[in-house]
Structure 1
Amino acid sequence: MKIEWKVQGESAITLKAFLKTKYISKRLLAKVKYQGGRLEVNGELSRVRKCVSEGDVVSLCLPDEVGSDSLEVSNEPLNILYEDQHYLIVNKPSHVASVPSSLYKNHTMANRVKGYCLRQNYRYKTVHIVTRLDKDTSGVMIFAKHTLAHSYMDRLLKQKQLYKEYIAFVDGDLEKEWGLINKPIDRMPGSIIKRQVLKTGKASLTEYWVTKKFKQLTQVKIQLHTGRTHQIRVHFSDIGHGLVGDDLYNPKSNEYRIERQALHCSTVSFTHPFTETKLSVVAQLPADLNKLSNLLESENG
């Protein structure tokens, strides 16, 4: 993988200093040096002490990534929403875990992506997971194809420049058309899975907009401003409007017999770290939530 930049508006600086402006870490430079990568200026092999100036073309050739044998291959299908040489963005179905665990060792999204990369004969075999979803949440998931692409996306996440929108169906009638749920979340004492609102927890902020009102339920659009485990599910349960079908946080809600929490990551938006263009990727509402929406519409008359 070759990444290129044209030096612009710079008086002479070292290649090392220029690469620092591109957030290239010392660790990655070491991998380039010792694991088969290459640094070039205007097509010629160069050292980091070399000076570059306006108009020079800097090329960073990344070494191949072998990947881990511990991650099994799955040939289950992928619904690909967007793909380029740096990123693979997919539509995760419900009932599929994002990554392997003691409960789900294979056929997770990570296993599926590894299988896809092998079938495509990509040089980069490591699976870089940028965003995750709960097993029973559907929607957009982002994978990076190489370590630099992953590093850049992690930086966007830390700077809150990667925007994720969700669609959810919640119990009851939300009084406000728009709201912010600002309540700290921590692990529930005695549980390795459940979370709850606790004063001692980490700051957690969820923004929502009411998009449709039904007789007994409300459809909302949600944007997360923090990324805590089960954040949406915990916050809406805490304000008395738990998610439909959420057996963990709203177990008495499921008269509509939906087989998972009614939560879907519908959109991710960000500025592409390599092309610097704005990218928005959308996953349409899946069949089970469409069916629920149509049923609710019919009840409204």
Structure 2
Amino acid sequence: MITIETHIAVTQKEPIRFQDYGTGIFTGISTKSALKKAIKKGLIYIDEKKASTGTFIYGSEKITFNKPEENNTKKRLNLKLEVVFQDNYLAIINKPPGILVSGNTFKTIDNALEQNITKSSLPDATKPRPVHRLDFPTTGLLIIGKTSASILALNKLFENKKIQKTYLAVTIGEMIKKGTINTNVDNKEAFTTYNVLKTVTSNKFNYLNLVKLEPKTGRKHQLRVHLSSINNPILGDAKYGIPGKIIKGKGLYLHAYSLDFTHPFTNKKISVTKEPHNKYTKIFPML
């Protein structure tokens, strides 16, 4: 038996190829590669005609995905997530440590979203999708798109650097109070500004610092690489830390603390913060 998912295309300012529009509008088709495979198998129709990657989407087209029923009976990930904010377009969750945002494993944030986030009532509602990433050990705020249009719009905001992200980290060693780090990451330009909020002495590490970080670029492991490059690695960083000064069992002390951006549909200012885990307050009680 075949089940059918239906999607009504959002009106476009300019026509867009289906291979660029269709990613993420149906459950299980989260990449261009998966979309192309579904099209090749003849599973997707646009206005009752078989879709092709070059079909142009103008808006209001009826797009259907014919999906084997067994895909609907797949195991659901039972993982409780804290939803910090949500509306009909997007959501913001508090990512726990020790879990991938997405990937080829069962236990990911991506696989837990449908069980935690209210489905949008808009015509282009789709499976909730993360629109950026946090590292496996990093905690904190993660933005989720709930409609096809919002996923595209949020990606555009990130591309144009219109979303301001602030992190909190605990770093090791004596540290200059503020500055900018511009060490290349993966041979690409990368910029991070930092401000030391508080420093305490430590028998094991000499000094521990509570640091506010604002990445101006979004390279993989950027904050961890940058702080390591100035000999102030993040506490608990097994990959970029100093040998002999890596604690075990406490995780990485890096937290995505705040997000500030203009909502792409309501034009309201979104400013969300999430306090870090109480392991931070054991070092810095003022938190």
Aligned residue number for residue 43 of structure 1: none
Supply the distance in 2 between the matched residues of 1:66 and 1:224 (Cα, whole angstroms): 42
Supply the distance in 1 between the matched residues of 2:254 and 2:239 (Cα, whole angstroms): 13
Alignment of 1:189-268 (within 5 A): 201-215=187-201, 216-250=207-241, 251-254=243-246, 259-268=250-259
- Check conservation: 1:128, 1:147, Cα contact below 8 A: no
Supply the distance in 1 between the matched residues of 2:99 and 2:81 (Cα, whole angstroms): 12
Unaligned runs of 5+ in 2: 1-6, 26-44, 49-56, 202-206
Indicate yes or no: 2:282 matched with 1:291: yes
Supply the distance in 2 between the matched residues of 1:275 and 1:284 (Cα, whole angstroms): 26
Indicate yes or no: 2:149 matched with 1:133: no
Change in Cα spacing, 1:64 to 1:236, as seen in structure 2 (3 Å) is: farther
- Check conservation: 2:120, 2:147, Cα contact below 8 A: no
Match of 1:94 among 93, 97, 101: 97
Supply the distance in 2 between the matched residues of 1:66 and 1:217 (Cα, whole angstroms): 56
Supply the distance in 1 between the matched residues of 2:21 and 2:245 (Cα, whole angstroms): 54
- Check conservation: 1:206, 1:232, Cα contact below 8 A: yes
Supply the distance in 1 between the matched residues of 2:165 and 2:46 (Cα, whole angstroms): 37
Shift in Å at residue 145 of structure 1? Answer: 0.7
Shift in Å at residue 233 of structure 1? Answer: 0.5
**Residue deviations 1:78-128 (CA, integer Å, cap 9, x gap):** 100000111011001111221133xxx2232111103335xx566744232
Alignment of 1:50-69 (within 5 A): 69=71
Aligned length: 239
**Residue deviations 1:145-204 (CA, integer Å, cap 9, x gap):** 1221011011111111011100001011212x2211001111xxxxxxxxxxxxxx0111
Q: Secondary structure at the match of 1:228?
A: coil
Change in Cα spacing, 1:30 to 1:182, as seen in structure 2 (3 Å) is: closer
Supply the distance in 1 between the matched residues of 2:137 and 2:21 (Cα, whole angstroms): 40
Alignment of 1:34-183 (within 5 A): 34=46, 69=71, 73-101=76-104, 105-117=105-117, 120=118, 124-175=125-176, 177-183=177-183
- Check conservation: 2:9, 2:63, Cα contact below 8 A: no
Supply the distance in 1 between the matched residues of 2:198 and 2:47 (Cα, whole angstroms): 54
Amino acid corresponding to residue 89 of structure 1 in structure 2: I
Indicate yes or no: 2:261 matched with 1:273: no
Amino acid corresponding to residue 193 of structure 2 in structure 1: E
Moved over 4 A (4+): 1-4, 28-33, 59-72, 120-123
Amino acid corresponding to residue 83 of structure 1 in structure 2: Q
Q: Secondary structure at the match of 1:214?
A: strand
Change in Cα spacing, 1:121 to 1:185, as seen in structure 2 (3 Å) is: closer
Unaligned runs of 5+ in 1: 5-14, 37-46, 49-58, 187-200
Supply the distance in 2 between the matched residues of 1:291 and 1:30 (Cα, whole angstroms): 47
Supply the distance in 1 between the matched residues of 2:170 and 2:189 (Cα, whole angstroms): 24
Supply the distance in 2 between the matched residues of 1:83 and 1:132 (Cα, whole angstroms): 18
**Residue deviations 1:25-49 (CA, integer Å, cap 9, x gap):** 353998799259xxxxxxxxxx97x
Change in Cα spacing, 1:181 to 1:62, as seen in structure 2 (3 Å) is: farther
Change in Cα spacing, 1:111 to 1:265, as seen in structure 2 (3 Å) is: same
Change in Cα spacing, 1:272 to 1:60, as seen in structure 2 (3 Å) is: farther
